[in-house]
Amino acid sequence: NLVEESSEQIQSLDFSKSVVMFSGGKDSLVVMDIAKKAGLNKSVYINSELEFTISRRYVEQMKENYNIEDVVPKIDFFEFCRRICPPSKRLKWCCKVLKLALSMKHAIKTGNFYQLTGIRSDESDRRSKYEVINADPFINVNKRYKFFQVNPILYWSEEDVWDYIRENKLQYN
């Protein structure tokens, strides 16, 4: 059973060093719900402030049922654009600067080095090569710390995700 496998993967983690990275999307919603049921009710939403208002409202609504911390960059997207340049095909800095770097900084501050994601292998060729617990070389740029990306629904299909949402009557964005 996929849910049991995902729950067991989550339960095998040290909860004091683990957090769900909630994006506001359906996949991370499922991970957050399974994690809560497994005993890990600690999530982080990296709020780049670029999301649609309806998406930010959804995240606020989800805080009624889940422990979600907003993490906001000190320098916003538009200031980065002024300092660097707008993101482009050649210079794809946006996600790395506004999401990944912020999640690493938050992990160092809180000790949450196991970051659970809603990544699924069927989303792309690159993601099909991921493992359930991934030590991504980019994540490990700071050699003093060891970061782990935990992908408990890696082998789920999109249909599996929607089935879980329907069966558990989850409110999705």
| Residues whose CB falls within 8 Å of the CB of residue 157, separated by 6 or more in sequence, listed in order | 120, 122
Query: Which tens digits make up the pLDDT trace of 4-62?
Result: 999 999 999 999 999 999 999 999 999 999 999 999 999 999 988 788 899 999 999 99
Dihedral angle computed from the Cα positions of residues 78, 79, 80 and 85, in that order, rounded to the nearest 10 degrees: 70
Dihedral angle computed from the Cα positions of residues 37, 29, 69 and 108, in that order, rounded to the nearest 10 degrees: 90
Average pLDDT, whole number, for the chain? Answer: 89
Indicate the DSSP class of residue 140: G
- What's the pLDDT band for 139 if we cut at 50, 70, 90? low
Entry pTM: 0.89
Residue pair 138/100 in contact (Cβ under 8 Å)? The answer is: yes
* Mean pLDDT computed over 82-108: 81
As beta bridge partners, residue 43 has 20, 68
Query: Which tens digits make up the pLDDT trace of 48-84?
Result: 878 889 999 999 999 999 999 999 888 888 888 888 8
